[in-house]
Amino acid sequence: MSDQKFATNALHAGHDVASNGGTRAVPIYQSTAYVFNNSDHAANLFSLAEFGNIYTRINNPTNDILEQRLAALEGGIASVVCSSGTGAINTALLVLLKAGDHIVASNSLYGGTYNLFSVTLPRLGITTTFVDPSDPSNFGKAVQNNTRVFFVESLGNPKLDVLDLKAISKEAKAAEVPFIVDNTVASPALLNPIEHGANIVIHSLTKYINGNGTALGGAIIDAGTFNWANGKFPEFTEPSPGYHGLIYHDALGPAAFIAKVRIEGLRDHGACLSPFNAFQIIQGLETLEVRMKKHSENALALAQWLESREEVTWVNYPGLTSSKYKKLADEYLPEGQSSIVTFGVKGGFESSKKIADETKIFSLLANIGDTKSLIIHPASTTHQQLTEEEQESTGVTQDLIRLSVGLENLEDLKADLEAAFAKLD
Ligand SMILES: *Cc1c(COP(=O)(O)O)cnc(C)c1O
């Protein structure tokens, strides 16, 4: 499969038709547990002497196909799917970190991730320094003796800053810590962070990969490139009390991390994906490439149209010539810059809120990456819990309206926004 192209892998990778009853569509294996041949077989599975299914919290044949497909599409060695993007982020971090450890993260993050890092993880003794990612040297400067992870979003939501992944990955390499990239907003159809030095890629499958707004899911994809034996991660080089003395680095080599995610992360934290959701997500994944092209085309055209409107004070889309991220977009997102467009209107907070309330085709809701167009005014909704200072650092200004441009007819989308503009006084 590995030398086939993206669109082919999106439709076929991981699905061995012959060993799945001749099914052309990936079947849903809706089973909680799997029958062992005998007790010795069970013992071998538990001790990893043999690989096989034990219990659906740890592994499932439908999920396995999705995992293989995502690893192929991102260029990783293996992946683990989780109950949501948030579940994936938590599981990856809790496998790697312990009380006393430190994260260096971009300050331009999804609101939920920002709260996890700034409020919840500190309760467990894990702290984060947020840095402005537009200067990659800020990551190196924030490194402490206890830093164990760099975390960024390749295309920040909702700031839409395109990160210089190559430069940041060099900083991570110098600090000898894994570089984790949340690639949700770009999707693997537009950007593969592993090609630019990421060691671990995260996805919220809920967004573009599912694409229809019908199922939550998340994924952790391991590039298999990080050296866990560098002295900073004794959990990988010393016998694990959590898995009867297994030394992950010795037993599993480059797959040490992703194996630990499955056999300890899923076992202990339980953020496993339902096979029914895996099936739904696979339906979406099959058409990801064509959808991302159309999302990007519609978004760019709408952003250009918004720039020409007198009600509009500013427009941000990384594909616009006026965008300060255009140069990085040309380098990292040459095929398209995804579906999110942000803009402000005259009148600020109140007027922007009104636009979000008045559109008919654009649905007012807290999601992105649906085939249908979506709209939200973050300052009054998703980001209202943050202080004004935190809102600014995550890129949420008082007047910011966020669109996730869907696959509808472009003229209909313009007409919908035009009708909402007409309601402003
Ligand atoms: C939505 C989102 C998440 C969280 O994913 P869920 O599936 O909603 O838990 C994480 N990162 C980014 C960039 C997102 O857009």
Domain locations in the chain as residue ranges: 6-284, 289-421
Query: Which tens digits make up the pLDDT trace of 38-54?
Result: 999 999 999 889 999 99
Is the pLDDT confidence value at 110 over 70? yes
Q: How far is CA 337 from the centre of its chain?
A: 15
Hey, which of 81, 159, 191, 206 would you mutate to test ligand 1's pocket, going by the most ligand atoms within 8 Å of its Cβ?
206
Q: 182: how many CB neighbours lie within 10 A of its CB?
A: 28
Which DSSP category does 262 fall into? I
* Ligand 1 centroid from CA 215, angstroms: 12
Confidence of residue 329 (pLDDT cuts 50, 70, 90): very high
| Residue 83 Cβ contacting ligand 1 at under 6 Å | no
Can you name the CATH fold of 289-421?
Aspartate Aminotransferase, domain 1 (3.90.1150)
DSSP lists the bridge partners of residue 315 as: 343
133: cis peptide before it, omega within 30°?
no
- Where b means 16+ CB within 10 Å and e means fewer, 306-317 reads beeeebbeebbb
| Residue 154 Cβ contacting ligand 1 at under 6 Å | no
* Tokens coding 305: 């149209």
The residue whose C-alpha atom lies closest to atom 8 belonging to ligand 1 is: 85
Q: How far is CA 405 from CA 94, 144, 280, 350, in A?
A: 34, 40, 21, 22
Mean pLDDT to the nearest integer, 65-78: 98
Atom of ligand 1 nearest to the CA of 368: 15
Q: What is the sign, positive or negative, of the torsion defined by CA atoms of 230, 255, 95, 280?
A: positive
Hey, which of 90, 159, 181, 184 would you mutate to test ligand 1's pocket, going by the most ligand atoms within 8 Å of its Cβ?
184
Q: How many CA atoms lie within 13 A of 277 on its CB side?
A: 20
| Residue 153 Cβ contacting ligand 1 at under 6 Å | yes
What is the reported pLDDT for 1?
46
Report how far residue 27's alpha carbon sits from residue 77's, in angstroms, rounded to the nearest whole number.
23
* Ligand 1 centroid from CA 187, angstroms: 12
Is the pLDDT confidence value at 210 over 60? yes
Residue 331, amino acid: E
Helices 275-285 and 61-74: angle between axes, nearest 10 degrees: 40
- The backbone torsions φ and ψ at residue 294, rounded to the nearest 5 degrees and listed phi first, read -70, -40
Contact (Cβ atoms closer than 8 angstroms) between residue 95 and residue 149: no
Name the residue among 49, 3, 28 with its Cα closest to residue 280. Answer: 28
Q: Which CATH number fits domain 6-284: 3.40.50.300, 3.40.50.150, 3.10.129.10, 3.40.640.10?
A: 3.40.640.10
| Residue 207 Cβ contacting ligand 1 at under 6 Å | yes
* Ligand 1 centroid from CA 372, angstroms: 18
* Ligand 1 centroid from CA 225, angstroms: 25
* Tokens coding 152: 């960024």
Q: How far is CA 142 from the centre of its chain?
A: 24
Mean pLDDT to the nearest integer, 223-246: 95
* Ligand 1 centroid from CA 17, angstroms: 32
| Residue 206 Cβ contacting ligand 1 at under 6 Å | yes
Mean pLDDT to the nearest integer, 118-138: 97
What is the reported pLDDT for 23?
96
* Tokens coding 130: 């947020």
pTM here is 0.96
